[in-house]
Every structure is written in structure tokens, then in C-alpha cells.
């Protein structure tokens, strides 16, 4: 099983809250992945009236899912088998440009550190033209997870 297939299978999300289409490259220190914004996504229905743009919180979630959770799965590939998932603990994001329905977005993330089950990354979000839409740092923590409790 290749890294893309493995990581996608381990993600703790499902549609409509899954914001990862593919992982295009991954190593112990960085990850790149893509997500295409569906034209009929639920969050466009009221944001903004007659001029849908992607909410910043969705940009943040795309960056967190690809840039921290997917990289965390790769770094600690046994995390979910040990009933652990990576949950968001902090963000500091600067929003620079908007994205729109149908846009294909790319996340590039570089590990700052992974210690004591905490992963911190510098993450950037790009559109298909290569414009930076957002950048900042995101941290996640591996935490115990038991869906039956």
C-alpha cells in the first residue's frame, strides 16, 4: 500500500468534513497534498449571499487535515492502531487571499517539531496559480481515542 492510500485510509474524517483528496509527497519532515473545493459544498450556501467564497475556518481545516493530521499519521503510523488520533491544539494563521467553489487547493507543510506526541508545523495554502492564500503554524496532539466510550 502506498503512502497516499495508507494515510487516506487512516484519516478520522468522512464527507462532508473530509478535506483531503490526495497526498502528492510525504517524508518525515514535510507533506504536500491537494483538495478540490466542491462547487456545491454546504458552507457556500450562506457564505456570502450571491458571492460564495470559502470561509477561513475551512481553509484552516484543510491546512490542519493535510498539514498536521496526515503528516502525523505518516510520522507515527501506528497512532490510530493504538487508539490515538491527532487533534488540533493551536493555530496561528494569516489569511491573504480568497478561494472559490471549484478551486483546487494545495497544502505544503514542514515539521517544526514532533515530541511528546505533539506535532507543530509551518503550513501554507496555495491555489492552482501558485498564489499563497494562507500561511501560519498549526499544532496537533496525539490523544487517546475510543469511539465506544
Whether residue 64 is preceded by a cis peptide bond, meaning omega within 30 degrees of 0, is: no
Catalytic entry in 8, 22, 41, 47 = 47
Instruction: Give the Cα separation of 71 and 8 in Å (integer).
Output: 11
Instruction: Give the Cα separation of 121 and 39 in Å (integer).
Output: 29
Q: Look up 47 and say whether it is catalytic.
A: yes
Give the Å distances, CA to CA, from 31 to 55, 78, 93, 119, 145. 23, 18, 18, 13, 24
Active-site residue list: 47
Amino acid at each position: 500500500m502506498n503512502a497516499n492510500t495508507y494515510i487516506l485510509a487512516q484519516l478520522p474524517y468522512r464527507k462532508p468534513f473530509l478535506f483531503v483528496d490526495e497526498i502528492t509527497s510525504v517524508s518525515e519532515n514535510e507533506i504536500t497534498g491537494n483538495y478540490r473545493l466542491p462547487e456545491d459544498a454546504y458552507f457556500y450556501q450562506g457564505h456570502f449571499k450571491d458571492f460564495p467564497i470559502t470561509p477561513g475556518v475551512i481553509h484552516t481545516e484543510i491546512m490542519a487535515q493535510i498539514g498536521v493530521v496526515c503528516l502525523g499519521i505518516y510520522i507515527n503510523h501506528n497512532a490510530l492502531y493504538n487508539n490515538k488520533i491527532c487533534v488540533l491544539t493551536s493555530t496561528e494563521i494569516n489569511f491573504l487571499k480568497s478561494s472559490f467553489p471549484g478551486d483546487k487547493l494545495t497544502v505544503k507543510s514542514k515539521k517544526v517539531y514532533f515530541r511528546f506526541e505533539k506535532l507543530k508545523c509551518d503550513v501554507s495554502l496555495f491555489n492552482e496559480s501558485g498564489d499563497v492564500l494562507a500561511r501560519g503554524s498549526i499544532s496537533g496532539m496525539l490523544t487517546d481515542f475510543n469511539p465506544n466510550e
